[in-house]
Structure 1
Amino acid sequence: MREHGGSAPMESTQFPRGGGRDTREVEQMVMDEEQADLRQLESKRTKLFVLIGSGILQLPIWGFAMSYGVFQEYYFDNWIFEGNRNITGVIGTTANGVMYLSMPFLFALFTRRWAHRRQLAALCGTVIACVSFFLSSYSTTVWHLLATQGVTSALGCALIYSPITLSLGEWYSTSNRTLAYGIVLSCKNIVGTSCPFLLRALIDTYGYQTTLKAWTAIVGGLSIFAIFLIPTHPSKVSMSRTRARRIPWYFLRHRTIYFYSIAIIFQSSGYGIPQTYLSTYAREIASLSQTSSTLMLVLFNAPGIIASSFFGWLSDNKRITLSAQTVSAIPPVCCALATFIFWGLTTQGAIGLLLVFSMTFGFFSSGYSATWGGMLKQMESESAERNEAVDPGMLYGLLNGVRGIGYASGGIAGVGLLNTGTILANQRFAFGTSYGPLILFTGLSSLLGGWVVLWRWNPKRLLPVVLRGS
């Protein structure tokens, strides 16, 4: 009886302890699951903030460069500067060229070693851009305009763009990265659609000097707000505590990077021509009003809102399986057709055909950058097949760099071509005007941008697919 009485309390005390351990384990599992859900929720929220911040930054980064045609038209109509008036035609393309040419170096700098300094670098870029735009409002010579609006402000904007774009690609490193790029590029085209009217209204009301000072405030305020919405990815922050690995350059051994680079150079050399000269063509040759000429620039950028997301979706789409080179060949070839048919055959006062050109060329040229995500995936896949490391951020920076070569060369060529004369005796169509060489250059460079990619196309690869389908 004593043994039985002694054993009962032991059993009763052991059971609660064992049950307590089970309860604590269950509670710990629940807490772990809650923390995992919280981390996932925080990750989704952070990615959303990164996307929103990247979209907002498109205004201070690209707003001036995409709307420069408004300023050029004002400079021509109200010339008060010392120097050659034709140099103003280079400012817009120079700004784009400087931004893109500096990106490979900035991407290389902030992709690994200085990744933890990205927000600081973007803030420094904001200061440089603001100081440049503010000083340009006091310009008295055309060379000062070129230095401030075409060079230093572009360097500041590139210093904002490069680290922020790297962070966007890292937060969206899965299969939806191309779509994220497309959404941000759509925001860029929203900027290109709204800014010309905004800047035109400010210039007409307050003059270009006050407009540039107001633009300085816009750039500073929006940039600072949006930069703090985009934190550096934790995987890159940890690199600052350890020795960062060197950037892998194995992709330079592959032909793909060179084919795409040549295609981008050709496409971008023609892309900047309508963006710079379309509004002045509408005024001088087509005899359209100032409002109509500004509308040309707006309609040039507006279709890109849809095009960027569409081509980004097309590159990521699993149902419509098109190769990266096929998708990237569609925009430049269609741009060439639009240039030859719609712009080249425009007659004086024919606003309808010019509007069609603006929307068609704007749609396909704006969507071209969204195809780069597919190019990156193809080059990543080729590196994986060879068991080689690759840095997508560095690849994206190089593609932007070669685009800068195209912008700069197209801008320089545009000034010379505008003074060449006519290429047809009949001046009824646009081909026969002083803008004829520019139109021919735009169409041919766009066509070569698509042809270079198709040149790499191998019909033998398509034959087995056709045979299986039949």
Structure 2
Amino acid sequence: MSAPNGIELVTLPPPTLAASDSHDKLSPFADPSQALPSSANPSQLGLDSQDLDTLSSEEVGRRLNRLGTRDGEDDAQGLPPVDQGRGAWGFILASFVLETFLWGFSYSFATILVFFESHDPWQKNSLSSLTAIGTVLLAVMYIMPLFILNFYRRYPEWVKPILWGSALINCLGMLVASWATEVWQLILLIGVVGGFSGAFLYAPVLMWLNTWWVQRRGLASGIVFSGMGVGGCACPFILAALLDNYGFPTMCRAWACITGAVFAGSLLFLRPRVPLAKPKGERAPWVTLRDFRFASDPIVLVMTVTSFFNSLGFIPVSLLLPIYASSLSSPGTANILVACYNISGSIGSSLTGYASDASLPWTLAVMGTVAGGLALTAWGFGSTLGAVFAFALLFGAFSQVPSSWGAAARDVAGANPHVSSMCFCWLGMFRGVASIVGPFISTGLYEEDLATDERASWGRFGFRKVIVFVGIMSSLTALGGPGVWWARRWKAQRKAAAA
């Protein structure tokens, strides 16, 4: 979640440090409801199941808060303290490390892609098929948390065994990938297996953060989700060193060993504050169509379209810009570019979160306008490494729409944590879809026969159509500004008319 802010998504996703609702903005799959017992049911809230349809989001939120406070008072003597102590800080450390290696690797796949472009047996494959490895990995990690969180809430006693099994499967997938000779094998082993196991590993971070940290949740969230930026900066150099010195098979085996040790150490400290146990009463319900009624809210509709356009422009740049840079210089320069792009995205995510708290419409309008203009000018006319690096730094900072999801979720959900969580998961799903569609379209627009063409004054090396696509998609993001303004006004008028 950069998650980003980073499920949560996140941005599934990159850090934002706003004091209020900071966890929501940081990860695309934030789940505040996990501060409550997984077995909470309507009867505990003092209402029947049918009453959930008639209560406002604010009233449901107030009753949930009362329930959480009461449970905390009953169990306080047997639970570790919040906001301090070995358990709370151990959880932060474990979550930070998982964020660094899971999302850092996912957003550093461009380094492997540059290597594939010049080494057998991979260079014979098309660019679109090679990029599919990384895009499938990102898509699965963005889309799956909606279903995983629901499964974990329903079967809390299975969480720990699944975590250890997921860590083992993730490492085995990378290990077996070292013997792969076809692209489809890497898509299956790194994209599908790595994505699923990574999503299962990361979901508890979203579930348990709110139970360990309350008053200092902004600090905790900032530390955890800054791991994506740290990983996105460090992983390109680690992967490049292994690839250049030992080749792809050895890189896979070394990475499997590294992550195996890292995951094992992290899981020892990744513990829930409230011990996991099989619910004594009825299990939490599965997600149903009723849970998606919020999707008809005009703000959700506007943010869904806005986030989809933003992702169509952002994700292809993260994969293809290093190839553009390698046409101007050595592959080593491309690794530095990937690191800069990821770090600027982390910083931009924090700024986006603060700005969206002040004015969501203006934030979206400015981000889309600036990002679209940068693509069509700085990248379009980029004939030097300096220009390309400037574009990477600025575009990465002004493309962090997921960090504005928290402000939108507050408009939609009010004080209802369940609706807020579902809103993040909904937007994250569409970002996951865009992570497949965007690279597929952009690689189709890439003119490989012009890859060595340096004569063009605009859109060199066969990237002319790609730059146009990214510029248009990024510019369309700006329409989210007036769209959110209209949606808020429409809801206010409707509420006034109903009163």
- Per the TM superposition, whether the score is higher than 0.5 is yes
* Shift, 1:300, TM fit: 0.8
Matched letter for residue 90 of structure 1: A
Matched letter for residue 205 of structure 1: N
Matched letter for residue 334 of structure 1: V
Match of 1:356 in 2: 390
Does the CA-based 8 Å contact 1:282-1:288 persist in structure 2? yes
Count of residues in Structure 1 that have an aligned counterpart in Structure 2 = 410
Match of 2:281 in 1: 242
Match of 1:299 in 2: 340
Residue 133 (structure 2) pairs with residue 97 (structure 1): no
Does the CA-based 8 Å contact 2:82-2:214 persist in structure 1? no
Runs of at least 5 residues in structure 1 that lack an aligned partner in the other structure: 1-32, 316-320, 463-470
Match of 1:204 in 2: 244
Match of 2:359 in 1: 323
2:281 partner SS: coil
Structure 1, residues 329-348: CA drift from partner, whole Å, max 9, x if none?
5444432222122111112x
Q: 1:39/1:309 Cα in 2 relative to 1: closer, same or farther (>3 Å)? A: farther
In structure 2, how many angstroms separate the alpha carbons of the residues matched to 1:38 and 1:310?
39
Q: 1:389/1:294 Cα in 2 relative to 1: closer, same or farther (>3 Å)? A: closer
In structure 2, how many angstroms separate the alpha carbons of the residues matched to 1:391 and 1:460?
18
In structure 2, how many angstroms separate the alpha carbons of the residues matched to 1:240 and 1:345?
61
2:403 aligned residue (370, 384, 393): 370
1:262-277 superposed matches below 5 A: 262-277=305-320
2:485 partner SS: coil
* Shift, 1:400, TM fit: 1.6
Match of 1:194 in 2: 234
* Shift, 1:268, TM fit: 1.1
1:101-120 superposed matches below 5 A: 101-110=143-152, 112-120=153-161
* Shift, 1:147, TM fit: 1.7
Matched letter for residue 344 of structure 1: G
Residue 424 (structure 2) pairs with residue 396 (structure 1): yes
1:231 partner SS: coil
Match of 1:282 in 2: 325
Does the CA-based 8 Å contact 1:332-1:368 persist in structure 2? no
1:304 partner SS: helix
2:154 partner SS: coil
> What is the root-mean-square deviation of aligned Cα atoms in Å?
3.2
Q: 1:39/1:95 Cα in 2 relative to 1: closer, same or farther (>3 Å)? A: closer
Does the CA-based 8 Å contact 2:454-2:460 persist in structure 1? yes
Does the CA-based 8 Å contact 1:417-1:438 persist in structure 2? yes
Q: 1:409/1:179 Cα in 2 relative to 1: closer, same or farther (>3 Å)? A: farther
Match of 1:4 in 2: none
* Shift, 1:137, TM fit: 0.7
Structure 1, residues 258-307: CA drift from partner, whole Å, max 9, x if none?
222222111112111121111111122xx212222222111111223433
Residue 219 (structure 2) pairs with residue 185 (structure 1): no
In structure 2, how many angstroms separate the alpha carbons of the residues matched to 1:305 and 1:312?
11
2:307 partner SS: helix
* Shift, 1:426, TM fit: 10
In structure 2, how many angstroms separate the alpha carbons of the residues matched to 1:395 and 1:460?
16
In structure 2, how many angstroms separate the alpha carbons of the residues matched to 1:71 and 1:60?
15
2:170 aligned residue (99, 104, 129): 129
In structure 2, how many angstroms separate the alpha carbons of the residues matched to 1:392 and 1:227?
27
1:390 partner SS: helix
2:413 aligned residue (380, 391, 412): 380
Match of 1:447 in 2: 475
Matched letter for residue 373 of structure 1: G
Does the CA-based 8 Å contact 1:182-1:310 persist in structure 2? no
1:242 partner SS: coil
Matched letter for residue 300 of structure 2: I
In structure 1, how many angstroms separate the alpha carbons of the residues matched to 2:239 and 2:488?
52
2:180 aligned residue (139, 143, 146): 139
* Structure with larger RCO (C-alpha < 8 A, sep 6+): 2
Does the CA-based 8 Å contact 1:60-1:218 persist in structure 2? no
Does the CA-based 8 Å contact 1:118-1:164 persist in structure 2? no
In structure 2, how many angstroms separate the alpha carbons of the residues matched to 1:69 and 1:370?
23
In structure 1, how many angstroms separate the alpha carbons of the residues matched to 2:157 and 2:418?
20
1:255 aligned residue (262, 281, 298): 298
Matched letter for residue 396 of structure 2: G
In structure 1, how many angstroms separate the alpha carbons of the residues matched to 2:488 and 2:141?
40
Q: 1:202/1:42 Cα in 2 relative to 1: closer, same or farther (>3 Å)? A: same
Matched letter for residue 102 of structure 1: M
Q: 1:252/1:116 Cα in 2 relative to 1: closer, same or farther (>3 Å)? A: farther
In structure 2, how many angstroms separate the alpha carbons of the residues matched to 1:130 and 1:208?
15
1:149-228 superposed matches below 5 A: 149-172=190-213, 180-228=220-268
Runs of at least 5 residues in structure 2 that lack an aligned partner in the other structure: 1-72, 491-499
* Shift, 1:90, TM fit: 2.1
Match of 2:379 in 1: 343
1:59 aligned residue (65, 85, 100): 100
Does the CA-based 8 Å contact 1:343-1:354 persist in structure 2? yes
Match of 2:17 in 1: none
Q: 1:459/1:212 Cα in 2 relative to 1: closer, same or farther (>3 Å)? A: closer
Residue 441 (structure 2) pairs with residue 413 (structure 1): yes
Return the structure number with greater helix share.
1
Q: 1:39/1:106 Cα in 2 relative to 1: closer, same or farther (>3 Å)? A: closer
1:139 partner SS: coil
Matched letter for residue 261 of structure 1: T
Q: Percent identity?
A: 23
Does the CA-based 8 Å contact 2:361-2:480 persist in structure 1? no
Does the CA-based 8 Å contact 1:185-1:370 persist in structure 2? no
Matched letter for residue 107 of structure 1: L
Q: 1:161/1:41 Cα in 2 relative to 1: closer, same or farther (>3 Å)? A: closer
Structure 1, residues 171-230: CA drift from partner, whole Å, max 9, x if none?
4567x6566544433220111011111111111122221111111112222122223323
Taking structure 2 as the reference length, the TM-score comes to 0.73
